[in-house]
Structure 1
Amino acid sequence: MNITYEVLPVERVEECRDVCNDLMAFQKSKAYITPELFDSMNFETRMLPSIKNARHNYIVVVKDHGKTVGYVYSNISPKEAYSNDFATFFDMASVKRELVGCLSQFYIKEEYRKYGVGSMLFSMSMDWLRQFSEVEDYFIFVSNGNADALEFYKRKGFNVSHDILDGFITVLRSHKTKSLTKK
């Protein structure tokens, strides 16, 4: 393995197309609550609109010998971006500031898990998110059936806040004053 991490400018987001679509297929394969909701989710319907609605975007790809094997996408967005036709992701009144931070998409091909790649991507994302003094609340949304991801984020200092869409998504939350570990 020759693992490298590369921060991509938004103009090169197309490099995430395949791994983003792999993430949607992975989430559908794990889901036990309305997996058919993933049928319309892909790079064009999830990543591109999120990038467009965000104030700041952060994309990191993981490569092995130049081949993309994973990525993380985080953003700083107006809290209102998380209330749309699909769902309201959190109680707007519970967020005091206008902007929230979100670790929005995270995927590593199975054969590259358990090598610390996930922890590295998580740390890079949280370090980036913490740069924004106007943000106090951080969110992660985990699809149903992905118990490994849920436990990973809990070990990193996030707490389960609530479920939405009848359990289709678990909302995890952390606040800036809380220490987020880099385990």
Structure 2
Amino acid sequence: MEFKYEIITDEEIEYCRDLCNELMAFQKSKAHITPELFDHMNFDTRMVPSVKSALHNYTVIVKDGEKIVAYVYSNISPKEAYSNNFAAFFELSSVRKKNVGCLSQFFIKEEYRQYGIGSKLFDMSMDWLKQFEDVEDYFIFVSNGNDNALKFYKHKGFLVSHTILNGFITVLRQ
């Protein structure tokens, strides 16, 4: 296997459609707290609005040959973007600066896990996020039941801050 990492533009996010939808199905399959919340979550309702509303976006796809096998999507957004009709993801007053960084979506096809793709995508995203001087708070939101993701992010230095929506999402912060 020879992996190729490609940074894509906002106009090319359609490349992530299938994997984003796979991510939502995967999260639903793992969830033990209100899995039905995932019924209306997909590429069009999650990724597209996030890309459109963020100040800056960073999306990397990973190819094995021509097959896209993984992606990560991170963004810089005003902190107010994380207090909406769905939930208040963190206490706005806990963030001193006006913008936050978020590693928003991360998915690797199951048969491609354990090859170091996750660590490389994580590092690429964190390097990108940390270049913004107006950001000092970084968040990752992990759906309930996704214990492997939680363990991975904690190993990478993120700490559990709190849960929201009665435990539906664990908020990690660095």
Matches of 2:65 and 2:29, distance apart in 1? 28
> Who is 1:181 aligned against?
none
C-alpha deviation, 1:157, in angstroms = 0.4
How many residues in Structure 1 have an aligned counterpart in Structure 2? 174
What is the TM-score when the length of structure 1 is the normalising length?
A: 0.95
d(CA) in 2 for partners of 1:51 and 1:83?
Answer: 17
* 4+ residue runs over 6 A deviation: none
What is the CA-CA distance between 1:53 and the residue it aligns to? 1.1
Q: Secondary structure, in 3 states, of the residue corresponding to 2:59?
A: strand
The 5 Å alignment of 1:103-114 reads 103-114=103-114
Cross-structure match for 1:11: 11
TM-superposed deviation, 1:169: 0.1
Please show how residues 21-36 of structure 1 align to structure 2 within 5 Å.
21-36=21-36
Structure-2 residue corresponding to 1:151? 151
For 1:115, the equivalent position in structure 2 comes to 115
Which runs of 5 or more structure 2 residues have no equivalent in the other structure? none
Q: What pairs up with 1:1-183 in 2 under 5 angstroms?
A: 1-174=1-174
- The one-letter code matched in structure 1 to 2:129 is L
Task: Give TM-score, length-normalised by structure 2.
Answer: 0.99
After superposition, the C-alpha distances for 1:14-55 in whole angstroms (9 at most, x for unaligned) are 000000000000000000000000000000000011111100
Letter in 2 for 1:134: D
Cα distance in structure 2, aligned partners of 1:167 and 1:62: 31
Cα-Cα RMSD: 0.4
